[in-house]
Structure 1
């Protein structure tokens, strides 16, 4: 992101640079920048203590952050205390750069060279000092084929020309290209060089190893198939840093494996979970009036957040014969009836998603969505060769091939929705078999392209990442996010304009065109966007006034909540006495004015 020969040519040079004395590079002219002026991310008044009980749908496939299966459903948790502690970050409310592992930084005039002053207070969880050598080690790890991670192998090649430990606490990063946002593009995390070796057998060696972390929580206990726990490091080096105030407050995080979301809801209602994400509109509309809510023991919130929606919808595997034909793919687009699903099954709670880059400034708002149109679908089916129906009512082509495929997916909560889609397709001569898998299996099969159609769900950053999703370099390998196996020389050129061109107008024009091509190629059928978080929490859990920061996708992003022991005692007493604390009737929370803006944009689009 010949590869092997380049790595081995570079490695001696890097090692030589690391062995050079600190005086070999004059840093006296460097103009250092920092930012400690933005507000803390959390609430400085937050209290420490307590155990936070939550759930996940499947047991971790691995504890590694790179290598096979590292991007599993547990990835958000394990990254939260390792990979997410990058050199700098964007403040989740102001979007300004703020120090994380580096106290200062300096971007050079070439737009690709950055110097970082590392925080000398930083320590690994085993007490070892965290130094520039640990970032060099991450680079070497990305390059190593022993990690069995083609994505990071390619990423290291595409993004980093040099990573040099100039001094123990000064790091130099040189990107491969000039960038219009080098602090985003050439950021990285540290890997404990004293604890991680890169010899052959890396995936197996570290598959279930608890390694030192730079974050505030260390994996403490794990029972295969049942639960894992994290314990807060009481002497964590970052506890009193400006931007860490009011974050990472609970002493212990207990994550139970509950494969079925309905069962997790039952656990929450019984008081065995502290927090529960409500993922379906039906549950939100029909099942929130239970006794604990009415008595104020539990609160429910729909918090609107301002963050790009990412990729969510049907992914068609272009390696499978059934989806080789673009007319067939377009027929599928015209047979998907979002309005009926939204009205009948989702209580009109969602907004139709059209773009591959929804919620970013690179979203092509001129795209006209595929409408539910059986006549157009029939035209495309005929063009694809499906003229006649077989004895079972399913269309066949001249060679006798049926218009039939299997949808593999991992969320039982979508079973009703997919059944409606299946029935609609079948009415018009297309068979979609449903194959519900364990979530981890469905995810892994997607990465390995062991499916015909699947449901693709990926979060996004502030800026789109088209290279990882649509770059042709990833079409040739598996275990990456190009799950549809798409990419051409021309679309690569558009992606390169976005990645490398410093002219914003050209970047926007390139991604607008890419967005239009993706829509026309029809291998991605976007579902719906939900610019909000719906969740329940017990009265003992406390949040800042705005709940989560503006740029939040999930609960693990910014852990600003805390447990109030006094409220916990009050709650226990009230429950024991069956006494009401008073219902919290404020359900919708929109501190960032997101709802009105989205609805105005959709009205404008409908008028075009």
Structure 2
């Protein structure tokens, strides 16, 4: 037990960032897990530029605050080193910014020894003070990010500094050791150091140490990173370029980082139309291209560059947990607060037919709107609602829409039409939503299509302007509830896209966050999922438990290519085990000039198929 004097000292250290230190317990058992199998390839070569694209330019270069939860945030925060990470196959925790860790006997505290060689991309050392500043940064109202304000105020009790490279992170609630590590190292939680030297406030900043105009001041400023790539060039509206920190990047002393992050640069250009991007790719102006869309894999990847073996195809399965998503119903909009209307919309939405007829049966229906792959946190009886226009019509009639207008759409006694807009962000989704629109007519329901370009669509949804939102969120191994369902988030710039809450749900979510006993947490999770099912606020959509990609033959990867957690084989952050072979590139370009062909290549890695 800590004495009161020591506890007060710890609070002083956290609040001030002072050089004073707390006393490190002497009986800690330090863990490093440095003997797990490697998953990169010793054949990897350094160098080259990965040329890829994005559909729209980001609204901001910030990693927190308004509009930050889209665009390039994964490059700035989610995909950069944490204190530790799951091994992508064994699931054990392996070092990243921390060399080792130990657990306190209070079930709340985890101690970390930082790698003393870790550096920001601008060369400054990463120290305990950057973690102290992290708490100040995320708790500040000036970042205008309620989710991080809440998490770092109510889920993280304190950060303690023992010396320049030893810290403790204390959870507000007791948890199992594994859950503590998940909470601390979940990519989207942002529990990573923040460069205090970069965010040094101006003299007129308020008492919390963060500039009052933080959002505007840092909107297009690129902060230093702990990762292998830093943002080196920005052409607004056109492109961004990330450059490698260099061969002396601190991470390469960690055996798990060796032979990764191999390309020298990553150039991402804006190409708003997917078909145009495909043409750029087939001309050799992009190095890789996603083939997740069934039409791309089955039809548009049978052109001459594929047949001559210049471009290869790869299909690899993973076991990544799936996040919440489908068709989010905004209960703050007129009529949509009515349960019967939401029930009718749910049974009038034909996701199964969309998967079969539009998506070639390649995708898989989510069993629940809050995601899949959370183990015992998920209800075993989760089943997606079937398409049933007769049942939908019954609910619509119950809600007062008991008449059919001349165009086949239901109306009520006031003459209101049963019509709602579906907001979505990418033109390639149009055929899917058009299918839903046609099927919904069988129940007398009209869906209109509201296409809003790329990242602007997410901004539109965050501001709660939508009726219905066609949207899938990323997920972690422990399901997220507070951000999507708690009444604290029934406001703009939050992820409660349905604007739904209830006192009962709030109580369960708060109990879920506090509960230490894992079995009780499982039960609370299942109760939450049951309430959400019965509230009909999100129509469960689809999931894609694999990656499908095309790449020019000079882009290489380990054999086998997939891990259980690989979401994209040629993504330059996260695992990034691929490389560019410049000699093969020269060989390929010469062969194209002379008409020489190679053997066509399609690789299917199904070791982790569920």
Same fold (TM over 0.5): yes
Q: Which residue of structure 1 lines up, in the alignment, with residue 5 of structure 2?
A: none
Q: Which residue of structure 2 lines up, in the alignment, with residue 162 of structure 1?
A: 158
Residues 330 and 15 of structure 1: is their aligned pair in 2 closer, same or farther, counting only changes over 3 Å? closer
Between 1:486-495 and 1:30-39, the stretch displaced more is 486-495
Residues 213 and 567 of structure 1: is their aligned pair in 2 closer, same or farther, counting only changes over 3 Å? same
Between 1:392-401 and 1:276-285, the stretch displaced more is 392-401
Task: Give 1:105-504 correspondences, 5 Å limit.
Answer: 105-180=101-176, 181-187=179-185, 188-197=191-200, 198-234=210-246, 235-355=248-368, 356-361=370-375, 362-475=377-490, 477-504=491-518
Structure 2: tracts of 5 or more residues without a match: 1-7, 186-190, 201-209
Distance 1:339 1:534 in 2: 21
Distance 1:155 1:425 in 2: 39
SS in structure 2 at match of 1:228: strand
Distance 2:415 2:9 in 1: 56
Distance 2:405 2:359 in 1: 34
Residues 19 and 347 of structure 1: is their aligned pair in 2 closer, same or farther, counting only changes over 3 Å? closer
Q: CA deviation at 1:170?
A: 0.9
SS in structure 2 at match of 1:323: coil
Structure 2 length normalisation: TM-score? 0.91
Contact 2:462-2:492 within 8 A present in 1 as well: yes
Deviations 1:41-90 (A, max 9, x none): 42233111111011111112111111111112222222256xx3111111
RMSD: 1.9
Matched, 1:523 2:537: yes
Contact 1:179-1:499 within 8 A present in 2 as well: no
Q: CA deviation at 1:18?
A: 4.4
Matched positions, count: 581
Distance 1:342 1:196 in 2: 47
Contact 1:104-1:117 within 8 A present in 2 as well: yes
Distance 1:343 1:368 in 2: 17
SS in structure 1 at match of 2:286: coil
Structure 1: tracts of 5 or more residues without a match: 1-8, 598-608
Distance 1:27 1:15 in 2: 18
Distance 1:501 1:205 in 2: 39
Q: Could you list the structure 1 runs, at least 4 aligned residues long, displaced by more than 4 angstroms after superposition.
A: 9-12, 15-18
Q: CA deviation at 1:584?
A: 0.9
Q: CA deviation at 1:15?
A: 5.1
Distance 1:497 1:143 in 2: 22
Q: Which residue of structure 1 lines up, in the alignment, with residue 526 of structure 2?
A: 512
Q: CA deviation at 1:253?
A: 0.4
SS in structure 2 at match of 1:174: strand
Between 1:396-405 and 1:60-69, the stretch displaced more is 396-405
Q: Which residue of structure 1 lines up, in the alignment, with residue 3 of structure 2?
A: none
SS in structure 2 at match of 1:215: coil
Task: Give 1:23-172 correspondences, 5 Å limit.
Answer: 24-79=22-77, 84-172=80-168
Q: CA deviation at 1:530?
A: 1.3
Q: CA deviation at 1:259?
A: 1.4
Distance 1:205 1:141 in 2: 14
Residues 11 and 485 of structure 1: is their aligned pair in 2 closer, same or farther, counting only changes over 3 Å? farther
Task: Give 1:9-20 correspondences, 5 Å limit.
Answer: 13-14=12-13, 18-19=17-18
Deviations 1:484-511 (A, max 9, x none): 1122222233334443323333222222
Contact 1:160-1:173 within 8 A present in 2 as well: yes
